[in-house]
Amino acid sequence: MQQVTFDHTLPMWRLREMSNSMLEEMRKGLRGEESSIKMLDSSVRKLPTGKETGVFYAFDLGGTSIRVIRTELRGPNEKEIVKAHKMKIPRGLMQTTATAEDLFGFIADTAKTAMEKFDDVPQPGSGAFPVGFTFSFPMTQPAIDKGILLHWTKGFDTQGVVGKDVGVLLQQALDRKNVPFKVGAICNDTVGTLVCTSLAHSSSGDRLIGVILGTGCNAAYFDPGEQTVINTEWGGYNKDLPTTAADTLIDQESPNRGQQGFEKLISGYYLGKMVLLNLRRAKPLLKIPDELLANVDLFNGSHTNQILKDQTPGLHKTDLLLRGLEPPIDWFTAEDRQDLRNICELVLNRSADLCAMALYAVLRQMGEEQATRNVTVGIDGSVYKMDIGYKERLKYTLNRLLFKEPTENRVSIVDTEDGSGLGAALVVAA
Ligand code: BGC
């Protein structure tokens, strides 16, 4: 246990050192030099004003599901009306045995079902609905409606998409299936989150950051010099990481080996496996079923969340949870469960600390490291929203990095709801 605790405890000086190196990588990325942080221009030059009106759609392809969002924008001071339809993406479509046609065909089918559910029956001659496509993967964007996938992340490996324009692939699938949408914009989820935050929190002007901390992890910020939103793709950061034996194994067993080093230390897709591998390291005599380690769906972030929330004596709820796994774990003693819980805490605290460190690097890049002007950071994602003290830990570490008492700090971290999808619809509308 001692070694695992040591491995996951990052002192402030270490976080500062990492933030220096991250900032350097960001600057290299911006200059177009070789860098593990790509700093991609999102081509979003215009933020919405709130005066937009009309019906807009967004398709949000996240880490595990596709959501079709219909929003009716009603102008200033009127709350938009939002409806959503969500489908889990079958694992098979993420694997290399699936083709681009399969994946985008599934999105088109889901869009069709959603349209019917929302009673949007297309009238003859009424044209296609404008749609913003939230595509949460690294892509270059030569124009707002183009997105060339650089590489997959978060366990996706569908063939025939890397190097292609996902806007074209989506439009072709929609046309093939006669689903009347016209792709008007493609957005990374962090960009969508930033755009949504800009409407809800206008006091920061354009000093804005959008962060996703869910299955994957990334941030975007508004660059006032270039007047554009930069999608940092900080998950790719690969220098000077506090990698443990468990992290190395996770990387080796992932389809994108050697990539997304930073993301693999903090995001939800890897958390469950990380906890179990560390438990195995701390207690080698415990037999943890290999199946639970081989399939990220069987023990994941939602399980670690429930374990951390367990306040019962002897961690009785955790016992029930472990017995309910497939395959079950029904031989853990109360002490084993406590160790498991401690490891969940260590892993999540490290995740929050690293995210705060990366946020600090972005603030420095924006020239806001003194935190004397209002900056709004909109955050969304399943890991951030777990109610186990994650948010508090992130804010605490950020304050320490900024050398600020919470009351002096003008960087406000706000929750955003549905930002990634809604943001893409707003970009089309703006
Ligand atoms: C992707 C990013 C995305 C993030 C959060 C990462 O794996 O590379 O583009 O923003 O996940 O979804």
Report helix angle 301-309 to 268-282, nearest 10: 60
Indicate whether 260 pLDDT > 90: yes
pLDDT of residue 419: 85
- pLDDT given at position 347: 97
Signed CA dihedral, 155, 158, 163, 169: sign only: negative
Q: Please say if the pLDDT value at position 100 is more than 90.
A: yes
pLDDT tens, residue by residue, 348-380: 999 999 999 999 999 999 999 887 889 999 999
Integer CA distances (angstroms), 138 to 135, 162, 327, 336, in order: 9, 10, 35, 40
The first and second tokens of residue 6, run together, are: 């040591």
218 C-alpha to ligand 1 centroid (Å): 5
pLDDT of residue 200: 84
Sign of CA dihedral 31, 32, 36, 38: positive
* 3-state SS class at 430: coil
Q: For 340, how many CA atoms within 13 A lie in the half-sphere containing its CB?
A: 29
Give pTM, 2 decimals: 0.94
User: How far is the centre of ligand 1, averaged over its atoms, from the C-alpha of 126 (Å)?
Assistant: 35
pLDDT band of 192, cuts 50, 70, 90: very high
Q: What is the mean pLDDT of residues 267-288?
A: 94
Is residue 171 classed exposed, middle or buried when 0-12, 13-18 and 19+ CB atoms within 10 A define those classes? buried
Instruction: Give distance in angstroms: CA of 333 to centre of ligand 1.
Output: 38
Determine whether the shortest distance from the Cβ of 379 to ligand 1 is under 6 A.
Answer: no
What pLDDT does residue 29 have? 98
What's residue 343's pLDDT? 97
Measured from the Cα of 153, ligand 1's closest atom is 7
**CB 411 near ligand 1, within 6 Å:** no
pLDDT at 78: 79
Q: Is residue 184 within 8 Å of residue 155, measured between CB atoms? A: no
Pocket test for ligand 1, best of 65, 148, 151, 153 (most atoms within 8 A of CB): 153
Question: Can you give the pLDDT at residue 409?
Answer: 80
Least confident of 107-121, 186-200, 249-263, 409-423: 409-423
Q: Ligand 1 within 6 A of 263 CB?
A: yes
- Model confidence over 45-54: pLDDT tens digits? 988 888 999 9
So what's the pLDDT on residue 82? 87
